[in-house]
Each structure stands twice: as C-alpha cells, then as structure tokens.
Amino acid sequence: MKNYILIILLAVFTFSCETNVECEDNPAAGFLANADGKVPARDANPANLDLWDKYIEAHNNRDLETIASMNIDSTDLGQFRILGPTGQIIRGTEEHSEFLKMWFDVENPKWNTYFSYSMKVDGQQGEWVISGAQVKKTVDGQEVTSYDIADVYILDGKIGAFWVYTRAEAPQQ
C-alpha cells in the first residue's frame, strides 16, 4: 500500500508541471500589439510606481522644480513629451513647466491615484507605468472631477513621456 501511495505521489509530482504557459518562471502579464503581432509585456520594476507617485505628489504640491528634475531630456522615443487628452502635445521640460504654471493657476488640479501597474515590453528599452487617478479641478467656479489614465514611459529612472486619456465623472443618480 505504501508503494502505491509513493508511486501516485511521484507521478503527480512528475506530471504536475509540464512545459506549459502556467508553469513558466515569468509568464507575460499582457502584450503590446504592433505590426509584427503581439509582443509580450511583463511585470517591471516596482520602483517605477514610487517614481510616478513622487511625480504626482510634486504636481499636487505645485513643485515645478522637482517635476522638471524628474523629466528626462530625451529618450529613444525622442524629446520629453506629453500627449494630452484633447490632442495637445507638450514638448520639452520648459514647455511643460509653462503649461503647468498656467493650469495650476486657472484650474487648480489635484490628483488622487487609485491604481498603478509597472510593465516592461519585451525587446523595448525603458519600462512603463499605467496609472489611473481621480482629478479634481475648478472650472468656471465649479468643481469638476475627471478620471484620467496615464501611460508613462520611464527610462533610466526618469519620466520620458506620457499619454493621458480622460473621462468626465458620470452624474450620480
């Protein structure tokens, strides 16, 4: 009887992890589709999340000097840039600082991050943070809330670029 139990345990152990996707050391958490197909995307350095949190904190504190110091001059994608939710493109740290000064004065935005995920696309330099935040602003004297998603490109511990997508808060019924 002991031999049967030993054989069954040995068989279960031997065949429980064949070469398949579920048993890979680092399975892809997602993918990036391009002209060549789907490129695997994996979990990346969690320090990227701290970097983005500090960047958002500097925005909430209106600390333009810290924000500028966290932007990279250029990357393999080109000059530091932001692609905003309404199609605007901000190129370079100086233009970014000027935009923020105006925006802070006019709408007083405040961010409250509710999720972030750090990822690395196989074969690509740099890493990414995908982050969502509730953003409260004052528009024409009224508080307005939106939900923004940012795709943030990070290289060498600095912000290289980001794309922002936004949705207005839905009316509560």
Q: Are residues 98 and 80 in the same domain?
A: yes
Q: Is residue 70 part of a domain?
A: yes
Q: Are residues 91 and 118 in the same domain?
A: yes
For residues 128 and 118, the answer to whether their CB atoms sit within 8 Å is yes
Domain count, the chain: 2
Q: Are residues 12 and 23 in the same domain?
A: yes
Q: Are residues 138 and 115 in the same domain?
A: yes
Location of structure tokens 């074969």 = 123
Q: Are residues 66 and 126 in the same domain?
A: yes
Q: Are residues 65 and 133 in the same domain?
A: yes
pLDDT at position 1: 53
Specify the pTM: 0.80
- Residue 37 lies in domain: 1-41
> What is the tens place of the pLDDT at every residue in 74-95?
766 678 999 999 999 999 999 9
Rounded to whole angstroms, the Cα distance separating 132 from 153 reads: 15
Q: Are residues 31 and 53 in the same domain?
A: no
Instruction: Considering only CA atoms, give the Rg of the chain.
Output: 22
pLDDT at position 30: 85
Q: Are residues 133 and 161 in the same domain?
A: yes
Write phi, then psi, for 140 (nearest 5 degrees): 50, 45
Rounded to whole angstroms, the Cα distance separating 74 from 51 reads: 18
For residues 144 and 168, the answer to whether their CB atoms sit within 8 Å is yes
Average pLDDT of the chain, as a whole number: 86
Strand 142-155 relative to strand 78-79: parallel, antiparallel, unpaired?
A: unpaired
Q: Are residues 25 and 106 in the same domain?
A: no
> What is the tens place of the pLDDT at every residue in 23-39?
456 678 888 888 888 98
Q: Is residue 173 part of a domain?
A: no
Q: Are residues 105 and 132 in the same domain?
A: yes
Q: Are residues 158 and 119 in the same domain?
A: yes
> What is the tens place of the pLDDT at every residue in 70-79?
999 876 667 8
Work out the average pLDDT over 101-109.
Answer: 97
pLDDT at position 85: 93
Q: Is residue 104 part of a domain?
A: yes
Q: Are residues 109 and 164 in the same domain?
A: yes
